[in-house]
Structure 1
């Protein structure tokens, strides 16, 4: 089988302090990625600013914008300028009081190829996303682009095998996860190691179970919590652990970034390997779809 190679880039970085600074930095990073041969560029979750979900404040809704809107116009122009497919992550204002955590994919001509609204919304100390985001209503549908069918999911979605599976069943060629995840600085080191290890393992499991490459792009740096004065759980902020990575369809690491440094992580992905792997590990063939009805229940009491 002939090799179908795709050069991908993941832009791992820290918050630059403002929307303008972040978008300017993204423009620099995407230019670098394109100059190094990237045809598909993945950005981190909510890349326009700090991870504001560490607290609940109605003032944070001022960050949201319509899609299409100012950021999509600028990012679309960026994709067109460098001839890349660009996967972004924005705080979408759909209507007054109705907001989503939305990934937007741009084609090489700058047009919007499609979008995905985050389906699984967490609500935990430091990650109060249910206050801000309405669960997605676009389903698990891959987005058609010139480089393939992209199964785009967002952060908390990464813990759910059902989401990855449904993207695979809909014909995704790759799974992509814009992400913002890290440690509570107060946690013991062994707990930090377990959390990061579980995160990596979940992605490797999605790759193996579906026979697909997986791309996950995370941010870096410590972001203080607005609740620091309250000394509550999660009030020490989040240290994002980076570790952006590209996996092959058997869960193998093709490329992995560090935990602390900004990096444009490049990798070459052989999209033809999924066919080869699925021939020897035909998990889709052997699924007992006649016996999975209870998956539609919350819990089997």
Structure 2
């Protein structure tokens, strides 16, 4: 978290990143949002873990972990990967009225399934944007998994940005690192609440 905070301060930007988090004997699939000042704004523990695919298995977060935080760009929420497969978790996030939702994924498949597998991530991000009612940024890493039950599977990139209606605004490159800037309008729903 300290290194991410230093990067956020250096570049004067918020950063959201997924990571493994050890807390005593518990291992969490976590995502953090760090402010431009380098301070931790939000931490989310993944709730819908696919533990049959993880060794050691992650500890599940709870629906009470779903939250949003006020930022200079509006209310930002974070969910992780398979959390977005559960309608009740998307509904709980929608109840928090985020202006923007950030979702780090671990979207992996056999290499022969790419780039087609990325289309499923597009659909998932689009559905989440519609369900929550705000723009969504769904990110995926790039590279081959070298350990554990998923050894040999590939993260294919193809990160997705969708507007509040689920319209896909952009998809990053297949199986290649890419940085791109998107202009999206956070919802600014505070005035209506």
TM-score, normalised by the number of residues in structure 2: 0.86
Counterpart CA distance in 1 for 2:40 and 2:170 is 28
| 1:257 to 2:185 alignment | no
After superposition, residues 275-286 of structure 1 pair within 5 angstroms as none
Tell me the residue number matched to 2:129. 207
Cα displacement string for residues 232-273 of structure 1 (whole angstroms, at most 9, x for unaligned residues): xx55x111121101101111121210112111121000124x
Tell me the residue number matched to 1:183. 109
Q: Which of residues 94, 97, 100 in structure 1 aligns to 2:23?
A: 94
SS at match of 1:103: strand
Counterpart CA distance in 1 for 2:125 and 2:88 is 13
Larger Rg: 1
Tell me the residue number matched to 2:74. 148
Q: Which of residues 146, 154, 167 in structure 2 aligns to 1:239?
A: 154
Q: Does structure 2 retain, via aligned residues, the 8 Å contact 1:88–1:103? A: yes
SS at match of 1:268: coil
Give 1:192 shift: 7.2
SS at match of 2:128: helix
Q: Which of residues 36, 45, 54 in structure 2 aligns to 1:108?
A: 36
After superposition, residues 25-104 of structure 1 pair within 5 angstroms as 72-95=1-24, 97-104=25-32
Counterpart CA distance in 1 for 2:118 and 2:172 is 13
Counterpart CA distance in 2 for 1:94 and 1:128 is 17
Q: Does structure 2 retain, via aligned residues, the 8 Å contact 1:93–1:99? A: yes
Q: Which of residues 133, 153, 165 in structure 1 aligns to 2:58?
A: 133
Q: Does structure 2 retain, via aligned residues, the 8 Å contact 1:85–1:145? A: no
| 1:269 to 2:184 alignment | yes
Counterpart CA distance in 1 for 2:44 and 2:14 is 15
Q: Which of residues 67, 74, 99 in structure 2 aligns to 1:173?
A: 99
**Farther-moved stretch of structure 1 (171-180 vs 138-147):** 138-147
SS at match of 1:269: coil
Q: Does structure 2 retain, via aligned residues, the 8 Å contact 1:118–1:154? A: yes
Cα displacement string for residues 197-218 of structure 1 (whole angstroms, at most 9, x for unaligned residues): 3332122112123321110110
SS at match of 1:265: coil
SS at match of 1:249: coil
Give 1:222 shift: 2.4
Q: Does structure 2 retain, via aligned residues, the 8 Å contact 1:179–1:218? A: yes
Counterpart CA distance in 1 for 2:180 and 2:86 is 25
C-alpha change, 1:199 and 1:224, in structure 2 (3 Å) is same
Give 1:122 shift: 0.2
The total of aligned residue pairs comes to 189
Counterpart CA distance in 1 for 2:119 and 2:171 is 13
Tell me the residue number matched to 2:139. 217
